[in-house]
Structure 1
């Protein structure tokens, strides 16, 4: 019972620091049931966990990270320590750094969805940090990493969210470990959060405005029975504790030390003007299906946390064995707590939701309109300043690109990736689709009231080929993954231009480099939000592996020698990013209309054929040009932009459209040019003679800016 005159915990899902009980009262009188997890107080720690069908609950306390057995057991009294379906107990004299598990009794009736195990050691779903590894046990009981009681205090030095508009964002997708793990990185903290700090000058010089971190939620790094795994879990898409930053990216082994180091990383990235977006995986967990281990959700309330069939087996919309029951009210509340926790306690600027279509499935697994979780994330007041991005498909056939949601939700635009790849490969019939993608994909997003910046444009991502491999391989080469090359996508719209993999043939190498420039230039000149994959700017290779999820080695790591070896492409990328950020015509907040803003202006966009006349979409094959006008823009830097592109195998002459021959044009991009004459962020490139033809090489692109 609450003592008279005390302040109860009322903001259950806010993620905020709650008022502490008065010190004048004996601490055991204050057994508040909210919020969840292990709450640090002046006099001890409050443990709160949900379980509807448990018949008994225990807290196991450990003296050391590697201890297989607890040093102390706290038995909760179901009469005094249970509030509805919440179990809550205060344990005095515990401090930050305390190691613990939950353990509970209940029915083991898989056919009814219950998988309680009185011997299982259970990770707190709200644990803020984990320590140690899975430990083997002769008794067959899984001993997962220990939960750590965390003190959330941190000196942020005045840091707050940067709140950069999505339309002005350039995203850099990267893996925390892979970014600095290579010996070539020269980092004092390789593969860690602190290692990222070492490379902030590089990120800043590149010009990106946000990093999108591949999963940093806790995930297993070894088999869950404690044995070594043949295939490392490198990518991290196998979560087991949503509130906890991954311990494997910590420098040192202090329990909970990763919390402070992660915050240091975010603080320093913000100081450099770079936002932090997290790739979050709320669609499944690492407990797997009915044959998988029990070390958290299964042992606390299996039928609530997972989607189950009528016989108690697991629905598998994730392709990973189980599916989180994300639209159950209890799970929704956990996800909201989690998102708010990362925004408030870690100053995270946004989230990319892996296999987000699963969030659109109801408790029966059916796709539904206006799913409550998706809608509430968009409307949540604490998340209102964050970027929310959906991977709008799942592993069970749902594909919702363009129709995932409305309002604030942006999407990874898979249609952009495929259309741009096919156009530059030289496929017929792709000029129209290419124009649509350049213009911001209104066919996908305008009808739902969204804008061009809701399209996250990408040519490559972690999942698939790198940019170098996209122009060097036509077939996947995944044998090193140990799955007989069965894994990974077979449909990549890639080309090798004559030789599979590396070659010394100079014409092929030259064409591949030009194609890489075409992809980068297209990405930065398109309406929408560009996303670049770490290492593409220096032609990082995975040797043709398009599913390097288990390659925690040089195949996946950033090779920093490439920064010098491919300095010309790095410079090209830097110039294109700078051009984009300097030129508002390339990042409009509204869709292009093809009409002028006011009388006397040129249309905001006009499309032309190689003859400089209005394009005939039925007759064009590989060539396209357009003029973007600053009509309606108030930014003093806004200028006219002329783009010419040709994906055919022979050179192609272009005529400058008569409507803009009177403007003073200077070259900004020439993908067939040699560095440093291939890109000019400012209007300092060679002048364009508008009376003469412009000859584009095969597979080439030029962009001119009004001086």
Structure 2
């Protein structure tokens, strides 16, 4: 509720600058003087500038001394008019950041059986209260919180508050707002209230896995908790849930493994889950009625409830997600968490905006929220307490849930310094944590040199980025369904394909490549976004038979698995996943998004082929070289005619040959006797027939790996 009627408006825009707006309908917008008062003392403002803007007169005024945050101030004009001094653009100044940066690690709830402490950062608030409701009660207790240094408000409550619902009441600009704790870790259904829990009850010892010495040793498999097991043939009991994704020994109709056991057999190293932090778009109490990928973040430090067996029980989602992660670790695999720190679902309703209005989000040159994300708001990661929140959140997920890596959605919205601090933090906890992100250059008001984009990859050497050049050159443009890349028969992409298979480091160029090192390149042709590759093939190879489409698909996926860099597979890609032509299935039904485990049985030969290519990659280190220098000194491009591509790994004595055309080609092998590891129909670490030096025929639409005997 607004406590007073405002004759005009006044904003604190810098520590000593107040902007006053007088409507022309109010004394023609004119006043020769202004006074600032806190009801105890008052002092005059110095008018520095006056100009008319539309139907208002704008005054820029200077304070003789800084105001005290947390205290209510009023502005009086010469006519006796009065308005409250609102917190304006000052919150986006460096001086504000410096004054109120808090480096403590105790924001949110610090639970104890005898007493619990609650803290919130709200430097612009003139009052903060804690609202507590005992479990099962309809009545809440309101407790005043004490303002401390750096804009912190704190209260300690005696007794055991386990299961208590809580929220904060924050008074800013004469308005009380009820807000869920930004640091909340446990929730009621649909994230309506925070819940105080004893996290010690949920803790499990970390299952340690062998260190991954370099990110290029990783093979990432992206999936969605619900998609992964919801299909009737998944063989899973808890379909679509955390527990289902963690079930072992599940089998499909053909009695072959599905789910987590299948992924262990497939040979991938990391499962990347689409967002599992609390998001909007699905009613947690009726989860089967809605579907959403999860890019509508609500609460960043609490798991999504629609994937739990009991969303109303605040412990359920926590314990079941931890159980899933444990099961994955017991299977020898790792977990990458897709995180969406670039935006919030609805800015005006978010905890961030309610607690410190205007601080957590970027604003454009006219003061409106920027929209580089396309969803109405951009998180201002460059601000100290926003950056701290991201770092605190990452640390929490690693230490509390044992997450092994993070995929940053729309990473280009975030800033370079924040991302490097994320990497340093993760390395301090676990040296083989993988950080990857979407380095797209988006229109957010952050200077180009500060954006965490591909163009700035040299400033973030430890962070991998999705290689859209690989995607669009090997498969064909994602944004032109009918464009064909090299693997789909377009030989015009031959030179690009050579560059991409050699790590996107500028192998054939005197200058730099897209990346400085292969470990920065996430190689992919398919992910949850846009059409699956199978659906693209149905469109751009409309008059081709399924047998040929499968060859093109196999070739493109094989190139992902054998290129220098980090391979990334979309779940079901190995059995020709289809979304029935849906190119943006973020809220499409299960019938579109589900992982169809029957296709795994139907296309088991392709699954086995991909499994074998994964084995080859793991066995032959020439397919996962660590550095640009190693690639340059070990790879020679063989002089074959277009569209045949030949790569010779000199130290390993391995040849990798690709023929993306629909015709067979005759080529000459280097001197020696060569055995086949893979061709158009076979792949494995056990060699097949041998060839003497001379000409051989390379089958249409095929990849071939030969090793010197």
When normalised by structure 1's length, the TM-score is 0.76
CA contact (8 A) 2:209 2:332 kept: no
- Residue 163 of structure 1: aligned partner: 211
Equivalences for residues 101-116 of structure 1 within 5 A:
101-107=167-173
Rate the CA distance shift 1:300–1:269 in 2: closer, same or farther, 3 A: same
Q: Return closer, same or farther for 1:157/1:147 CA change in 2, 3 Å cut-off.
A: closer
1:47 aligns with 2:47: no
Q: Which has the higher strand share?
A: 2
Q: Distance in 2 between matches of 1:155 and 1:552?
A: 34
- SS of 2:688 mapped into structure 1: coil
Q: In the alignment, which residue of structure 1 is the partner of 2:340?
A: 281
Match of 2:518 in 1: 452
Which protein, 1 or 2, shows the higher relative CO under an 8 Å CA cutoff with sep ≥ 6? 1
Matched, 1:338 2:393: yes
Q: Aligned to 1:353, which of 393, 403, 408?
A: 408
Inter-CA distance 346–574: structure 2 relative to 1 (3 Å threshold) = same
How many Å apart are 1:650 and its aligned residue?
2.4
- Asked if the contact 1:438/1:522 (under 8 Å) is kept, the reply is yes
Structure 1 residues 231 and 287 mapped into 2: Cα distance closer, same or farther (>3 Å)? farther
Residue 169 of structure 1: how far off its partner (Å): 0.8
SS of the aligned residue for 2:343 comes to coil
Q: 1:440: which partner in 2?
A: 503
Asked if the contact 2:505/2:515 (under 8 Å) is kept, the reply is: no
Distance 1:609 1:352, change over 3 A: same
> Secondary structure of 1:695's partner?
strand
Is 1:627 aligned with 2:657? no
Report how many residues are paired. Answer: 573
Distance in 1 separating the partners of 2:320 and 2:288:
29
1:384-430 Cα shifts (integer Å, max 9, x gaps): 44211121015428893253333311111111111112112333431
Distance in 1 between the 2:395 and 2:500 partners?
A: 34
Q: Aligned partners of 2:104, 2:621: CA distance in 1, in Å?
A: 52
Specify every segment of 5 or more residues in structure 1 that has no aligned partner in the other structure, as ranges: 1-31, 109-116, 135-143, 361-370, 474-494, 499-506, 597-603, 611-619, 632-638
- Contact 2:382-2:414 at 8 Å conserved across structures: yes
Q: Could you tell me which residue of structure 1 aligns to residue 230 of structure 2?
A: 181
Residue 390, structure 1, aligned to residue 437, structure 2: yes
Equivalent-residue separation in structure 2 for 1:548 and 1:304 (angstroms): 33
Deviation of the 1:668 alpha carbon: 1.8
Q: 1:305 to 1:466 in 2, by over 3 A?
A: same
1:549 aligned residue? 586
- Partner in structure 1 of residue 308 of structure 2: 250
Shift, 1:33, TM fit: 7.9
Deviation string 1:654-689 (CA, Å, 9 cap, x unpaired) is 2213xxx213x2222223x2xxxx212x13322224
Counterpart mapping for 1:601-620 below 5 A: 604-610=634-640, 620=641
- Counterpart selection for 1:642 from 627, 644, 655: 655
In 2: Cα distance, 1:161 partner to 1:129 partner: 28
Aligned equivalents of 2:631, 2:270: Cα separation in 1 = 31
2:515, 2:521 within 8 Å by CA — same for their partners in 1?
no
Distance 1:448 1:376 in 2: 23
User: In the alignment, which residue of structure 2 is the partner of 1:267?
Assistant: 326
Specify whether residues 326 and 84 from structure 1 end up closer, same or farther in structure 2 by C-alpha distance, changes over 3 A only: same
**SS state at 1:323 partner:** coil
Counterpart contact for 2:212–2:432, Cα < 8 Å = no
Q: Distance in 2 between matches of 1:409 and 1:213?
A: 18
Q: State how far apart, in whole Å, the 2-side matches of 1:330 and 1:91 are.
A: 26
Structure 2 residue matching 1:336: 3-state secondary structure: helix
Structure 2 residue 119 is matched with structure 1 residue 72: no
Match of 2:29 in 1: none
Structure with larger Rg: 2
> What is the alpha-carbon root mean square deviation over aligned residues?
2.8
Which structure: greater helix fraction? 2
SS of residue in 2 equivalent to 1:523 = helix
Q: Is the 8 A contact 1:50 1:87 kept in 2?
A: yes
Following superposition, the deviation at residue 514 of structure 1 comes to: 0.4
CA distance in structure 2 between the partners assigned to 1:41 and 1:687 by the alignment: 69
Offset of residue 322 of structure 1:
0.6
Q: What does residue range 442-591 of structure 1 map to in structure 2 within 5 Å? A: 442-443=505-506, 450-473=516-539, 495-498=540-543, 508-591=545-628
What displacement does 1:161 show? 5.8
Three-state SS of the structure 2 residue aligned to 1:443 is coil
Sort the Cα spacing of 1:34 and 1:432 in 2 relative to 1 into closer, same or farther, 3 A.
Answer: closer
Q: CA deviation at 1:558?
A: 0.8
Aligned-pair CA distance for 1:158: 4.9
1:666 aligns with 2:666: no
Distance (Å, rounded) in 2 between the aligned partners of 1:337 and 1:627: 46
Alpha-carbon separation, structure 2, partners of 1:655 and 1:541? 38
Aligned counterparts of 1:376 and 1:566: Cα–Cα separation in 2:
44
Q: Assess if the C-alpha contact under 8 Å between 1:653 and 1:696 holds in 2.
A: yes
1:205 to 2:265 alignment: yes
**SS in structure 2 of the partner of residue 705 of structure 1:** strand
1:12-411 aligned within 5 A: 35-63=106-134, 71-77=139-145, 80-107=146-173, 117-118=175-176, 120-133=177-190, 144-160=192-208, 162-165=210-213, 166-198=215-247, 199-222=259-282, 232=290, 234-253=292-311, 254-288=313-347, 293-309=348-364, 312-360=367-415, 371-380=416-425, 381-382=428-429, 384-396=431-443, 400-404=453-457, 405-411=459-465
Uncovered stretches (5+) of structure 2, i.e. residues with no partner? 1-102, 248-258, 476-484
Structure-2 separation of matches of 1:252 and 1:624: 54
d(CA) in 1 for partners of 2:466, 2:677: 28
In 1: Cα distance, 2:574 partner to 2:614 partner: 11
Equivalent residue of 1:667, what SS? Answer: strand
Contact persistence 2:185–2:194 (CA under 8 A): no
**Other structure's SS at 1:459 match:** coil
Work out the CA distance in 2 between the residues paired with 1:448 and 1:497: 33
CA separation of 1:152 and 1:454: change in aligned 2, threshold 3 A: farther
Deviation at 1:593, TM superposition (A): 6.0
Separation (CA, whole Å) in 2 of partners of 1:457 and 1:280: 20
Q: How many angstroms apart in 2 are the aligned matches of 1:518 and 1:220? A: 38
Deviation string for 1:49-92 (max 9, x for gaps)?
A: 11111122222233569x8xx62132324xx4544311111122
- 1:423 paired to 2:432: no
Rounded to whole Å, the distance in 2 between the matches of 1:467 and 1:203 is: 20
For the residues of structure 2 that align with 1:319 and 1:352, how far apart are their CA atoms?
A: 19
Kept in 1, the 8 Å contact 2:404–2:434? The answer is: yes
Query: Cα distance 1:521–1:309, how it changes in 2: closer, same or farther (>3 A)?
Result: closer
Distance 1:285 1:102 in 2: 19
- Specify whether residues 452 and 310 from structure 1 end up closer, same or farther in structure 2 by C-alpha distance, changes over 3 A only: closer
Residue aligning to 2:18:
none
| TM-score (structure 2 length as normaliser) | 0.76
Distance in 1 (alpha carbons) for counterparts of 2:287 and 2:308: 21
* Range with greater deviation from structure 2 (508-517 or 443-452): 443-452
Structure 1 residue 191: deviation in Å? 1.1
**Range 532-541 or range 376-385, more displaced:** 376-385
